[in-house]
Structure 1
């Protein structure tokens, strides 16, 4: 489950990078604009994945 959330956070980061560098919103382009219901659902899911991923900041890593 953690990998799924990590993938969603990476998708969000790539989208923000595209917005910052090229003013291109990939999610809005793929799903019909910033205000379409599908885009809003994707933004919400990615945002929740980011909130969930905060736990990685405070968890101890296992030695390799």
Structure 2
């Protein structure tokens, strides 16, 4: 599903950004889009947060709901 992949991509971007903050004290989103309080940065932070919430649903889906064939042994 497209929205699942988009949410996962945004969550990965957010994780890399947080990794940069933790390791180097560098916020890539703020650097690229005009600071932490800039409107575009805040939009990106919001989208990443929403994507993280969406990714929580991936943990609770069955194989059928994700469009995969069930595993057989």
Higher gyration radius (CA): 2
Q: Distance in 1 between matches of 2:12 and 2:62?
A: 21
TM-score, normalised on structure 1?
0.92
- Structure 1: gaps (5+ residues): none
**Larger helix percent:** 1
Aligned counterpart, 1:28: 30
Instruction: Note the aligned Cα RMSD (angstroms).
Output: 1.0
Equivalent residue pairs, number = 63
- Structure 2: gaps (5+ residues): none
Which ranges of 4 or more aligned residues in structure 1 deviate by more than 2 Å? Answer: 60-63
Q: Distance in 2 between matches of 1:36 and 1:53?
A: 26
Q: Distance in 2 between matches of 1:32 and 1:11?
A: 17
SS in 1 for 2:59: helix
TM-score, normalised on structure 2?
0.81
Aligned counterpart, 2:11: 9
Aligned counterpart, 1:47: 49
